[in-house]
Chains A and B, each alone.
Chain A
Amino acid sequence: MNQSEVLVSQLKQGNQSGFTALVDLYQDMVYNTALNIVQNVDDADDVAQEVFVQVYLSVNAFKGESKLSTWIYRITITKALDHEKKKKRKKRFGFIQSLFSGDENELHLPVEFNHPGVQLEKKERAAELFKALKKLPDKQRIAFTLHKLEGQSNQEIAEIMNTSLYAVESLIGRAKRNLKRILQNYYNDKFSDQ
């Protein structure tokens, strides 16, 4: 029995120390993945909590057909995307409300995201990359994020996304091309303004 199998069996028996060990082992992985998607530290913390609550409540549904980390990655991605959709809905509703009330303070303007793990001299370019990432379709964004920021292999990404290796390679390739185009347009506008 490897470590994750021991953790799962402990968790299935309702062992609290097993759950503590699981949180200790996976909290940074979950938090970092959520942060790369939602691009906000408080939201990422919220998502991380939701993920572990879900893991605790549905551990009996985990059959062990995939790795524990793969299962947790899937939950994290689903929760982070749901969180993002909810936030977008709220923003849209806030915008409509502000139109009627005329209160400009209710408009929540997007804040530039600085990933805490990026080197200081690269922070500005990284913020622009994260901004561009937001414009990608969900699948391309997830594949790129897992590959670039989580350091996962294409095979692992295929397992997490429940797709083929070829599809992952294609998604990453398209993500890179789209990012390049978005960034080129962005810098083009930026330099033409100056």
Chain B
Amino acid sequence: MNKKDKINDFVEQALTSADSCERAIAKPFLLTRINARLNQSKETIWEKAGWFIGRPSVAFSGLAILILINVTVIIYNRSEPASVATEQPAQENIDVYTYTTVSTIYDFENSEPQ
């Protein structure tokens, strides 16, 4: 038998090798594994949310956003003038304000006579 015939013979054998092939049988306890999978797929919305938040990428992104918000708030508050603290009281209240704040002898001596 020459090479070409041998090759053709092998090709024919390969093509017919699956002719009387029997059906493969599924592994035992397939139903148990399917039921386990079905139970897994029946997660509640909270379990799904927990699983989503628990993912490292989501958790770290969330943490980074939280830190960023905090830093932004701190920087914003520092750069803004303390407008409430430096606000001048109205003119009619100044005297009252002065009396109430006088608390030392020095303050009494230097206070303007009425």
Interface residues of A (CB under 8 A from B): 20, 23-24, 27-32, 35, 41, 44-45, 48-50, 52-53, 56-57, 115-119, 122, 125-126, 128-129, 132, 148-150, 176, 179-180, 183-184, 187-188, 191
In whole angstroms, how far apart are the Cα atoms of A57 and B14 in the complex?
40
Find B7's partner among A45, A129, A188 (CB 8 Å cutoff). A188
The answer, yes or no, to whether B41 is at the interface (CB within 8 Å) is yes
Q: Is B85 on the interface with A (CB-CB < 8 A)?
A: no
- With a cutoff of 8 Å between Cβ atoms, the chain B residues found around residue A148 in the complex are 18-19, 21
Given A52-B34, A53-B41, A191-B3: A35 in contact with B14 (beta carbons within 8 A)? no
Supposing A57-B41, A180-B11, A183-B15 touch, asked if A48 and B30 sit within 8 A by C-beta, the answer is: yes
Q: Is the CB of A20 within 8 A of B31?
A: yes
Q: Is B34 in contact with A126, judged by CB distance below 8 angstroms?
A: no
B10 to chain A, nearest CB (A): 5
Interface residue? B17 (CB, 8 A):
yes
Partner of B21, one of A20, A117, A187: A117
Measured between beta carbons, the chain A residues less than 8 angstroms from B15 are 129, 176, 179-180, 183
- B21 pairs with A126, CB closer than 8 A: yes
| Bound complex: CA A28 to CA B31 (Å) | 12
Interface residue from A45, A119, A191 paired with B20 (Cβ < 8 Å): A119
Given A31-B30, A125-B13, 8 other A-B contacts at CB below 8 A?
Answer: A20-B31, A23-B30, A28-B24, A32-B24, A117-B23, A129-B14, A149-B21, A191-B7
| Least CB distance, B37 to chain A, in whole angstroms | 5
Q: Do A117 and B24 touch (CB < 8 A)?
A: yes
CB-CB under 8 A for A53 and B38, given A125-B13, A125-B17: yes
CB distance from A11 to the nearest CB of B (A): 12
What residues of chain B lie closer than 8 Å to A128, measured between beta carbons? 14
Which residues of B lie under 8 Å from residue A122 when comparing CB positions?
13, 17-18
